[in-house]
């Protein structure tokens, strides 16, 4: 594939480094560590493209999916982690290849509004919010960020808006988040596209299977993102060249090489926790449901972000407003509450009490702590460090590729295309 074709297939992902070992393509036996979306996609793409090669997938827990999981209780359905995807053709290709096209639907057009809660007042986020920063300051900050290694707070010099953006994506405050990792297109990290932006976008648009998503829209799966993991697992289990080992902890790439008697260069590591400079932020997730009459004052929309850390939750997502498919019993609404552990005394009651900040006096009909998730930290300079790193194995996953599912899904495709060369 030439450079133009690569950019048409992968778009701005081409700015991100791909930490693939050059000898991986020579191996007949490939060992993948981590059964999250990265490990599942890498296993599926490699085993499908090279049926003569053996793939072993090692996962430390008793289930596949990593952070992705969908919680069910009666008719209530709530994702613990990712609930939807932004547009990227690699995600659409994966959904089509897994035969999930019927269940892949654009989220509601009516639920686009996002708010930010500042000093107890809700403000709608829109391109006009950027006027609060001032176009001149914004342009200057973006230009300065192109030197590399800037934090998001340096690129978006309005503390509350910058924090709202990073809280919504990585549940961290903006001074702690690498702008190159979050917005490489904005900071011009990596190499530029060989085509003009508009021409490239038009060409990328023409490659979407299933349907062309609207710019800025999101798309989700009927029944939640757990369905994506189930479909990948089903495919892998049907492939005779794939072996899945659950409840198997890999201490390090070297220990995997020793235990399985394989060369280091045949290992693909996709699990977070390998980078010394990278810690984890922990959050708990609550599913909170109301009768719709009790929350009629809460406008229909995508959700609210809360930079004010005196409130124990950083965001409320309007789950049942957003998705095309049903997430509640009739006449009810479901909200997902994100609770960073740094803000919380670990008592469920504190969250219940704080609900009034957003829901007034409405009493929930369902209130459940549905789980805890770790999110890798992406400190300023992270992407530059990753790009310079050299390993004796292949390193994929959201620790190094990007925070969203589109990054890890696309990364697996890029890896296989490199192995074809």
Ligand X SMILES: Cc1cc2nc3c(=O)[nH]c(=O)nc-3n(C[C@H](O)[C@H](O)[C@H](O)COP(=O)(O)OP(=O)(O)OC[C@H]3O[C@@H](n4cnc5c(N)ncnc54)[C@H](O)[C@@H]3O)c2cc1C
Segment near ligand X (CB under 6 A); pick from 34-42, 116-124, 147-155, 351-359 = 34-42
Q: Minimum distance between the CB of residue 273 and ligand X, rounded to whole angstroms?
A: 6
Measured from the Cβ of residue 374, the count of other Cβ atoms closer than 10 Å reads 14
DSSP bridge pairs for 244: 57
Beta strands in 149-245 (DSSP E): 219-221, 242-245
**Chain-centre distance for alpha carbon 59:** 19
The contact pattern for ligand X, residues 362-391, with x = CB under 6 A and - = no contact, is -----------x-x----------------
**119 contact partners, CB below 8 Å, separation of at least 6:** 308
Q: Could you say whether residue 404 binds ligand X (CB under 6 A)?
A: yes
- Terminal alpha carbon distance of the chain: 8
Q: Under DSSP, is residue 213 helix (H, G, I), strand (E, B) or coil?
A: coil
Q: Minimum distance between the CB of residue 293 and ligand X, rounded to whole angstroms?
A: 29
**Binding residue (CB under 6 A) for ligand X from 10, 14, 18, 36:** 36
Which ranges of 261-369 would DSSP assign to H, the alpha helix? 319-322, 348-354, 356-359
Q: What is the CA radius of gyration of the chain?
A: 21
Q: Could you say whether residue 398 binds ligand X (CB under 6 A)?
A: yes
- 52/235 Cα distance (integer angstroms): 16
Please check whether residue 58 is in contact with residue 33, taking contact to mean a CB–CB distance below 8 angstroms: yes
Nearest to ligand X of 59, 410 (CB atom): 59
Interface with ligand X in residues 255-314 (CB under 6 A):
270-273, 283
Q: Minimum distance between the CB of residue 233 and ligand X, rounded to whole angstroms?
A: 12
Please check whether residue 273 is in contact with residue 87, taking contact to mean a CB–CB distance below 8 angstroms: no
DSSP bridge pairs for 315: 305, 338
Residues touching ligand X: how many (CB under 6 A)? 35
Segment near ligand X (CB under 6 A); pick from 35-43, 295-303, 306-314, 325-333 = 35-43
Q: Could you say whether residue 408 binds ligand X (CB under 6 A)?
A: yes
- 242/43 Cα distance (integer angstroms): 8
Q: Could you say whether residue 315 binds ligand X (CB under 6 A)?
A: no
The contact pattern for ligand X, residues 50-69, with x = CB under 6 A and - = no contact, is --------xxxx----xxx-
Q: Could you say whether residue 405 binds ligand X (CB under 6 A)?
A: yes
Interface with ligand X in residues 74-93 (CB under 6 A):
81-85
Question: Whose structure tokens read 């990007």?
Answer: 402
Nearest to ligand X of 154, 224 (CB atom): 224
Q: Could you say whether residue 32 binds ligand X (CB under 6 A)?
A: no
Nearest to ligand X of 154, 163 (CB atom): 163
Beta strands in 153-218 (DSSP E): none
Q: Minimum distance between the CB of residue 209 and ligand X, rounded to whole angstroms?
A: 19
Q: Which residues bind ligand X (CB under 6 A)?
A: 33-39, 58-61, 66-68, 81-85, 249-250, 270-273, 283, 373, 375, 397-398, 403-406, 408
């Amino acid at each position: 594939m030439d450079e133009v074709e690569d950019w048409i297939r992968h778009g701005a992902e081409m700015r991100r480094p791909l930490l693939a070992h050059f000898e991986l393509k020579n191996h007949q036996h490939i060992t993948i560590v981590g059964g999250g979306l990265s490990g599942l996609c890498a296993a599926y793409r490699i085993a499908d493209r090279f049926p003569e090669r053996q793939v072993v997938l090692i996962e430390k827990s008793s289930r596949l999916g990593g952070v992705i999981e969908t919680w069910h209780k009666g008719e209530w359905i709530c994702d613990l982690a990712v609930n939807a995807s932004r547009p990227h053709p690699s995600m659409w290709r994966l959904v089509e290849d897994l035969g999930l096209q019927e269940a892949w639907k654009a989220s509601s057009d009516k639920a686009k509004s996002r708010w930010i809660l500042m000093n107890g007042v809700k403000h709608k986020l829109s391109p006009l919010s950027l006027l609060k920063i001032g176009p001149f300051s914004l342009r200057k900050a973006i230009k300065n960020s192109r030197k590399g290694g800037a934090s998001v707070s340096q690129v978006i010099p309005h503390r509350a808006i910058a924090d709202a953006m990073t809280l919504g994506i990585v549940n961290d405050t903006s001074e702690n988040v690498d702008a190159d990792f979050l917005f490489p297109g904005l900071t011009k990290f990596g190499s530029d596209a060989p085509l003009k932006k508009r021409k490239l976008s038009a060409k990328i648009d023409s490659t979407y299977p299933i349907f062309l998503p609207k710019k800025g829209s999101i798309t989700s799966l009927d029944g939640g993102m757990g369905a994506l993991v189930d479909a990948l697992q089903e495919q892998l289990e049907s492939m005779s060249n794939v072996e899945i080992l659950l409840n198997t902890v890999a201490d390090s790439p070297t220990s995997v090489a020793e235990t399985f008697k394989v060369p280091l260069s045949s290992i693909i590591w996709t699990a977070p926790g390998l980078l010394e400079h990278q810690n984890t932020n922990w959050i708990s997730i609550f599913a909170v449901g109301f009768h719709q009459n009790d929350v009629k004052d809460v406008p229909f929309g995508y959700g609210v972000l809360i930079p004010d850390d005196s409130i124990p939750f950083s965001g409320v997502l309007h789950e049942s407003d957003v998705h095309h498919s049903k997430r509640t019993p009739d006449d009810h609404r479901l909200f997902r509450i994100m609770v960073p552990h740094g803000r919380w005394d670990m008592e469920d009651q504190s969250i219940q009490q704080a609900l009034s900040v957003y829901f007034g006096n409405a009493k929930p009909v369902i209130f459940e702590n549905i789980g805890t998730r770790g999110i890798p930290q992406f400190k300023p300079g992270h992407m530059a460090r990753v790009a310079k790193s050299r390993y004796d194995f292949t390193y994929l996953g959201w620790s190094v590729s990007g925070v969203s599912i589109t990054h890890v899904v696309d990364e697996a495709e890029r890896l296989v295309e490199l192995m074809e060369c």
